[in-house]
Amino acid sequence: MKLIFVSGGVISGLGKGITASSIGRLLESRGLKVSAIKIDPYLNIDAGTMNPFEHGEVYVLDDGGEVDLDLGNYERFMDLHLTRDHNITTGKVYRSVIENERHGDYLGKTVQIIPHVTNEIKRRITSVA
């Protein structure tokens, strides 16, 4: 598996989503299988309850996931059918880590950013890549 990350600061509307969609489409045209993941740093679980004036329009996926509009571009450009799991938020990651801790999955260890949160992010990326 090879990963390409498109990243760029805190300014919205720079075209990162269209850039990622275009790169994916070009790779597909060369016969490669692609997927797309959007990673958002906010603590919300999804974009469904966020103010559209602050965050932008919400895109609803076939599985009912309320996500960033970039995922709609990914689906259209690359002819993909994405799920809510293709949108990773800090809120989803932290919730999962805390639930794992409550279930005893860390065997009483002190839960920390490294390795617990970073491992959860990697797990989420590889599960949908």
Is the distance from CB of 1 to CB of 129 less than 8 angstroms?
A: yes
Domain parsing of the chain, residue ranges? 16-128
Torsion on CA atoms 22, 87, 1, 94, rounded to nearest 10:
150
What pTM does this model have?
A: 0.91
Arch. (CATH architecture) of 16-128: 3-Layer(aba) Sandwich (3.40)
**pLDDT tens-digit series, residues 30-43:** 999 999 999 999 99
**pLDDT tens-digit series, residues 50-103:** 999 888 899 999 999 999 999 999 999 999 999 999 999 999 999 999 999 999
Is the distance from CB of 61 to CB of 69 less than 8 angstroms?
A: no
